[in-house]
Structure formats: structure tokens, C-alpha cells
């Protein structure tokens, strides 16, 4: 069943226009009595039935609320140093499927990719579209957002989170495996975790020092060294196992 994110608060009867209307009427060729899932911006998700439609709008009414909780109990934001090629698209797509709450991209000192403001804006639009499509496909109840920022601005935002982790390959090489679990154990439902990942060249000692000075903790992600696009998936999968599969 198709799923649509609606940018308004929950209401039992709703009229949709724009892109959702186009997709329902022109792409899916839906008709009266067809059913869809609607997800509102307060994370309420309902099964709704089409009661009327015309060339500009579709009118729907609630059949029932979705009961299954599909969101991770903590909000995990993935911050990635600009990677090469289309790796950021992959991180956003699969990270959304795995439950990430938001994504931040920043120009790391080792980043090969260089995107000016105009290119960042275009890239951000594309990434948010990828996140929306992945959220619909994976039946999320919250729509992740993608933002670009500078490294300095990223550091100043650490205080917005209940915990900040830095995925650091030197920690993995040294066999450090406890920090991730300790952090998960310290967080309760509704709290916010930021996890920072470097680009292909990793994070420099200068960056590590700045992040630690701002309150971040270093962590390893198992004994193997992971690619920049793989590491976020490991972290999100570990969170799903810890918070969802064990309980």
C-alpha cells in the first residue's frame, strides 16, 4: 500500500494537493475507495480511504491509525564528511531505511569532494527527495531531513544533542568496542544522539581534538575498518539490535 508524507498535523479527514495528488491520480491511477497510508508531520500515521477526487485534489478520511511503532526510540543524526561520488546518496537512502532521524553533511579536511553553495543547494534538494522516497518505501513514521553545514557550525551544535560520538578508525584498531554500548545504555527514549563520520581520508588529528574539546567521545565500530559509506549502516543496525530486537 502506498505511503505519503503530509506536511500538516494529524486530522481524521484530509485534502491533499500537489505532488501527492499527482501521484495518486496520475501515476497510481487510484479511484474512490482505494486506500493509502498517510503520515503527518507530528508522526501520526493512518490508513485512509479516498472518498472523492478531482483534477486538483484528493479527499481522504481515516480508516484506522497505524499501531506498529516503526521509529527507533532515540533520534540518531548521521553527520558525514563530504564523500566522493554518489556515496552520500547511498548513505541517505539506506540510512533512512535503517531508521536515521536526520543527516548532516560537512566538508571535512580530508574531503576530496568540493561543493560550492549552489551545488550544495541542488544536492540538498536531491538528497531530501531520496530520503522521502526511502521513508515511504520503508514505512517510516518520521521523515528524515538532510542539511549541509560547515565543520565549525557542526561543532557548535553538539550541545543540541544528549550524546555525540565520533567514529574513529584508530579506536577500532585499538580494539575499543565499549563506547557505543555505553552510550546506548545511557540514553533513554526521545533523547538525541549525533554520530560523526569522516570522509574517505578519515578525520585529522586537528578535527578529532576540536570534536573532543566540544564534548564528543571517540568510538570504534567493531574490529574491522569500515568504509565511510558502510560505517553509518553498522551504527544504525547496532542501534536497532540494541533497542528493538533485544526488548
CATH 2.40.240.20 residue spans of the chain? 3-65
On the question of pLDDT at 171 being above 70, the answer is: no
Residue range 193-218, pLDDT digits in tens: 999 999 998 999 999 999 999 999 99
pLDDT at res. 119:
87
What does DSSP say about strands 58-65 and 13-16: parallel, antiparallel, or unpaired?
antiparallel
pLDDT-derived band at 176, boundaries 50, 70, 90: low
pLDDT tens, 25-79?
A: 999 999 999 999 999 999 999 999 999 999 999 999 999 999 888 999 999 999 9
pTM of the prediction? 0.91
Looking at residue 170, what is its pLDDT?
74
Distance from chain centroid for Cα 138: 12
For 66-99, the pLDDT digits (tens) are 988 899 999 999 999 999 999 999 999 999 999 9
pLDDT in tens, 234-246: 999 999 999 998 8
Nearest Cα to Cα of residue 171 among 205, 218, 102: 218
> What count of other Cβ atoms lies within 10 Å of the Cβ of residue 90?
16
> CATH says 75-246 is which class?
alpha beta
Give the model's confidence band at 177: pLDDT under 50 very low, under 70 low, under 90 confident, else very high. low
- CA distances (Å), origin 217, targets 149, 168, 181: 21, 10, 13
The residues pairing with 106 across neighbouring beta strands, listed in sequence order, are 81
What Rg value do the Cα atoms of the chain yield, rounded? 20
pLDDT above 80: residue 175: no
What's the mean per-residue pLDDT of the chain? 93
CATH topology assigned to domain 3-65: Ribosomal Protein L25; Chain P (2.40.240)
205 contacts: CB under 8 Å, gap ≥ 6: none
> Which three cell numbers, joined as nine digits, stand for 143?
521523515
**CATH 3.40.1280.10-classified regions of the chain:** 75-246
Amino acid at each position: 500500500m502506498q505511503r505519503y508524507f503530509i506536511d500538516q498535523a494529524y486530522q481524521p479527514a484530509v485534502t491533499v494537493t500537489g505532488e501527492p495528488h499527482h501521484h495518486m491520480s496520475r501515476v497510481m491511477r487510484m479511484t474512490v475507495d482505494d486506500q493509502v497510508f498517510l503520515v503527518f508531520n507530528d508522526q501520526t500515521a493512518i490508513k485512509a480511504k479516498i472518498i472523492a477526487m478531482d483534477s486538483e485534489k484528493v479527499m481522504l478520511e481515516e480508516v484506522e491509525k497505524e499501531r506498529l511503532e516503526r521509529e527507533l526510540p532515540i533520534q540518531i543524526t548521521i553527520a558525514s564528511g563530504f564523500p566522493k561520488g554518489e556515496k552520500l546518496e547511498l548513505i541517505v537512502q539506506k540510512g533512512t531505511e535503517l531508521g536515521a532521524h536526520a543527516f548532516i553533511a560537512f566538508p571535512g579536511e580530508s574531503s576530496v569532494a568540493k561543493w560550492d553553495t549552489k551545488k550544495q543547494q541542488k544536492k540538498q534538494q536531491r538528497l531530501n527527495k531520496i530520503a522521502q522516497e526511502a521513508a515511504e518505501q520503508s514505512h517510516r513514521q518520521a521523515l528524515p531531513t538532510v542539511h549541509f553545514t560547515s565543520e565549525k557550525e557542526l561543532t557548535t551544535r553538539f550541545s543540541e544533542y544528549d550524546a555525540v560520538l565520533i567514529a574513529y578508525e584508530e579506536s577500532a584498531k585499538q580494539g575499543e568496542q565499549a563506547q557505543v554500548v555505553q552510550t546506548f545504555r545511557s540514553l533513554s527514549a526521545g533523547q538525541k544522539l549525533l554520530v560523526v563520520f569522516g570522509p574517505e581520508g578519515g578525520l585529522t588529528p586537528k578535527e578529532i581534538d576540536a570534536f573532543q574539546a566540544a564534548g564528543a567521545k571517540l568510538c570504534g565500530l567493531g574490529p574491522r575498518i569500515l568504509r565511510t559509506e558502510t560505517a553509518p549502516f553498522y551504527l544504525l543496525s547496532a542501534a536497532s539490535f540494541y533497542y528493538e530486537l533485544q526488548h
